[in-house]
Chain A
Amino acid sequence: MSVDTATVKKVANLARIAISDADAERLAPELNNILGWIEQLGEVDTKDVAPMTAVMPNTLRLRADVITDGNQRDAVLANAPQGEHGFFTVPKVVE
């Protein structure tokens, strides 16, 4: 499987990272080199092997259904690049 510049641009768009044509040209061979090396995994026989889901045996815990946090509006907004009237603000998304 070979990655071309169009694929790099598509993946970058999926990842929401703006890249220039020059970036895509540079990244395509780099990614191909890495992905080509990764492909050796295909030679491992994994028939009847379950994919790992938890590295240490652990059970998902339930906690009491009670409020443990809240009323932290100012702390939540403290690092926002832009906030107004107690909200995060972003460019207009609805016309």
Chain B
Amino acid sequence: MSTPHVHLKGITRRLGTCVANDGVELELVPGEIHALVGENGAGKSTLMKVLFGLHQPDEGEILIDGRRVRMTDPRAAMRHGLGMVHQHFMLVDTLTVAENVTLGSETQARFGLLAPGDAEREVAALAERYRLPVDPKARISQLSVGAQQRVEILKALYRGARVLILDEPTAVLTPQEVDELFAVLRALVADGVSIVLITHKLAEVKALATRLTVLRAGRRVATALVADTSIERMAELMVGHVPAPLTERSDEAPGAPLLEVRGLEVRDARRLPAVRDVSFAVRAGEIVGIAGVEGNGQHELIECLAGLCPPSRGDVRIAGAAVSGHGAREHRAAGLAHIPSDRLHRGLVSDMSLAENLVLGLQRRPGVGTGPWLGGHTLEDASRARLQEYDVRPPDPRAFAGRLSGGNQQKLIAARELTQGARAILAAHPTRGVDLGAIDFIHRRLLAERDAGRAVLLVSSELSEILALSDRILVLYEGRIVHETTPAATDERTLGLHMTGRASHGDSPLPPREGAPRTSGGLA
């Protein structure tokens, strides 16, 4: 093999107390598509930020064409021929395509005057050459997401990028756009560009990449040729092995349905259906796990069940009461507790005390406070026992929630949501970004709630968590429930196939979706 184009040697990057990258190696040879795969938090993004000069490594070095370089900032990275397509596009909505592509290295007439005609011609020529169809005169805000992504790629190419880093490039695309993107990427590789593809969609790796590197918990666990690696093997490398179940499952049959969803459709921020025709019921005394790769409608499903976003079709019942279309307050009143997926944006008010955070969502309940009054010593005293019970450290009712560690913040939320006497519990990524002790604690609490006769809906992208806790498992893929099973009848490998939409569709690496027939071969 020739000298690697880019060589990351022994990269270690610490974020606070945790090690995001631990001695990671990555070699990128000219003309290859190298997939960088791993679960959320495995360290993929951190590694690429180090490469692109957005983070400085604590240890290790970066070689470009065999020469050691320091990536001080993105400009340095661009000078060395690197280009990055961020997951959240770095585009100025109000400007045109040509303006965005040339920004910072504009074509100029004299006296600092813009030469928009020249810029548009140059961008059009570049777009033509790399077969990235886009109108240079169009404003970004008028473009589809796929076209915006093409602009991002053009931006990198305009600056002479020979290495392209794409962060989860298909997360926001429609199926046709995915096909088009793949065709473009293949053409770029044929032109001598090398590509790093960050993803956790294994079918895409199989369809597109030459080699792959798997990261798990900040370490590289494997680098291999894609042709020699089955999807099953990739999933195994990504996930590791599943720990033994925490407790015995109770044999009692589940009771009445407490959380029911029928024919639910929810639209995302772009007004496109993200949850499509989903129906299920969670009964008293069972935990139903919703497995799936993130971005397949989980977020919209959670927000809808919590009353934070109305469904466009279908209905939601909590403990028998129809609540769809009502707000969060009504959902809670009907008997739903909700551990939100984003504790800083939704679950906590960082600048309020632990005692105050323990009543968020319950601030109007008669038992909490008296008459119009709420707060002070009564509130603090009432919170002490719960802070102890849920092992929140420090158990000081007056401390600000923002000063707790992630694990303690999550325990604080659990202390609030699992002690309010709700009959149904919506637990969304309840252990994301918390330490092992807190994970174990929260898992045991959820099982205890199940045993106490509550209905628990667990949404998680951690397969191990789903397998360890659930009585039944539903797999969400592209907004639909594509598979139902139980932990005893499945394993992470099989689940992984369903999660990537592969199991039900034979050998096709990218299954067609309804209303979106695949144009085979794409544009290449």
Do A and B share a complex? no
